Amino acid sequence: MVTTLWTLITIFLGVSFVTIMFSVVKRKEPTKDFSTVFVRVKTWWGMFAVFCLATLFNPVVSLLSLMVLCFFGLKEYFSMMKKTRKADRRLFLWAYLAIPLQFYWIFIGWYGMFIVFIPVYVFLFLPLPRLIGKGTSGFLRSVSSTQWGLMLMVFGLSHLAYYQIASPEYGANLVLFLVILTQVNDIVHYFLSMYGGKRKVIPSANSSITWEGFIGATFVTTVVSYLIYPYLTPLDLTFGILSGVLISFSGFFGSLTISVLRRDLLIGNKKFDLLKESYLMRVDSLTYTAPVFFHVIRYYFDFM
């Protein structure tokens, strides 16, 4: 309990320092767009609150909070889809109903069902509501787009809730370790791209993703992983270092995928510039880092 309290105090001081620092930088450079940074900082405070409730009171609070996050993330994803029909909305309803079921499998610790429910059973079931609705036009687009949303916003993010079920002793700290590295990677990438990035990866979708940012963020994230892994994880030195590389790479591909996805869904849509504080922007990297880190750790270590 003492270790947990010290960890929470350290995180509180760290997030407070970052918040003040970014506020000062914003005042000194009012012409630059720091909206992405402040969205991340708000997310950190929200995650800190959830982590406090989960570790000091009841882990179920964390599970319910993540379930709500998945719901709003999926809802926002559906809102971006163009030309939805009545048959599509019926499909969305069934997709929403999959969320509490996915988290119920987590709650009871049924790993086998948790890992196949959305990729297999929901995948096989989704076409049925569309077929019953006698909708043939746009069938493939609506079914595949819905499954994509479920895989990213529900299946990927729901892994965050399973850490503590899979490892009651280390799960909460592993989630904290994962979230810290993911957010550090995102922020460092953003700043390096803003001040020194020249070679854009996908300029048509996201100008803040550059190769210079990716390389610099990978290095910084790996160093941070090396510094904090002894305090938050039972990992050995090799995996303490490799975790930083793994999270940085998967976070990069997560941001890349969500950026292209948002651009594809919203191209020509006036809402595109209004979604800087969207749920997808807050959790883009976590949709990849959460499942990748979970399965690598589960494969190599017995405590998961």
Enter the tokens of residue 278: 């969207």
The pLDDT of residue 236 is 92
Question: How far is 257 from 284, CA to CA, in rounded Å?
Answer: 8
* Local confidence pLDDT in tens for the 304 residues of the chain: 555 666 667 777 777 777 787 777 777 777 766 666 666 677 667 766 766 665 655 677 778 888 888 888 888 888 877 666 766 778 888 999 999 999 999 999 999 999 999 999 999 998 888 777 666 677 888 888 899 999 999 999 999 889 988 988 888 888 888 988 998 898 888 888 877 767 888 776 666 788 898 999 999 999 999 998 998 899 999 999 999 999 999 999 998 888 888 777 764 444 545 455 555 666 788 899 999 999 999 999 988 7
SS3 235: coil
The pLDDT of residue 269 is 47
Q: Name the residue among 149, 126, 157, 124 with its Cα closest to residue 139.
A: 126
Angle at 187 between CA 186 and CA 190, to 5 degrees: 85
Q: Whole-prediction pTM value?
A: 0.84
SS3 285: coil
Residues with Cβ within 8 Å of residue 207, at least 6 apart in sequence: 200
* Domain locations along the chain: 2-300
Enter the tokens of residue 276: 């800087």
Cβ-based burial of 137 (10 A; exposed 0-12, middle 13-18, buried ≥19): exposed
The pLDDT of residue 130 is 78
Q: Name the residue among 39, 47, 139 with its Cα closest to residue 88.
A: 139
Residue given tokens 């948790």 in the structure block = 114
